[in-house]
Amino acid sequence: MAAQIILFLPMTAGYWYVHSELAVWVQWVPDLFSDRPWRLAGLLLGTVLCGLLAGLIFTGPARLLYLQRALLAGAAMSLGAAAFDAYHMQLAGRLPFTKAALLLDLAVFFSALPLCIFVLSRLRPNNAFKPKPLRGSA
């Protein structure tokens, strides 16, 4: 319980930091295309990819640390990190498509971690290592 409380803020800050580093990393996605509509679609794809990868990276640690309360903790972490990101976001003077891309990035960043934790918790356990009895043995 103490580890859960102590590690909440560092995990939230780490989640935000990984997202910000991935945002710099996915800048190559629009450069894959030469036409302007495809470049804009690549920009949107990059923003979705950035938020989704950040959520996937922190799904395992959040699930292992918070066990049954992982969904609630993941929602709180993503809310804190997204609020910090939204507070520092500057939309004034931006083009409309850039505003849409930034808001899409914020929405994916907010929802990726709780959704990934929810999907991971809904998966059935893999019993591949469970021994299977032989047929005919009593």
The string of pLDDT tens digits covering residues 87-102 is 988 888 888 888 888 8
* Cα–Cα distance, 50 to 23 (Å, whole number): 6
pLDDT at 71: 92
Q: Where are the alpha helices (DSSP H) in the chain?
A: 2-6, 8-25, 36-66, 70-87, 96-122
The two tokens of residue 76 are: 């709180």
pLDDT in tens, 108-135: 999 999 999 999 988 877 777 777 777 7
The two tokens of residue 17 are: 């930091």
Confidence tier at 138 by pLDDT (50, 70, 90): low
| DSSP H or E stretch at residue 94 | none
Residue 130 gets which letter from DSSP?
Answer: S
* Cα–Cα distance, 80 to 83 (Å, whole number): 5
